[in-house]
Amino acid sequence: MKLVATMCCVGIVFTLGACSRSKEPAVSETTPPTRPAEKTVFDTQLKALDKAKAVQGVVDQQKVDADRKVKEQEEGGG
């Protein structure tokens, strides 16, 4: 009877060991194959959107600079 219990325990250990995941998946599983970018009908719109975001960043920085100058003048009594 002990032999059957031991064999069952060994079987369970091997089964659980087989079900565990490896710590790091293989490289082929994590990174999709690289393809060159295809030109789409949205390219011009995406470029315009990126350009607008860049301009917005400049405008936001100018506002921060202007607010800082106004605050300096207010504090300086100017």
pLDDT tens for 8-64 read: 778 787 777 666 566 665 565 566 667 777 788 889 999 999 999 999 999 999 999
Q: Based on the structure, what is the number of domains in the chain? A: 1
pLDDT tens for 55-71 read: 999 999 999 999 999 99
Residue 51 in any domain: the answer is: yes
pTM: 0.42
Cα distances from 75 to residues 15, 61, 71, in angstroms, run 73, 21, 6
Residue 55 in any domain: the answer is: yes
Domain around 66: 42-78
**Dihedral angle, C-alpha 48, 50, 54, 59, nearest 10 °:** 60
Residue 52 in any domain: the answer is: yes
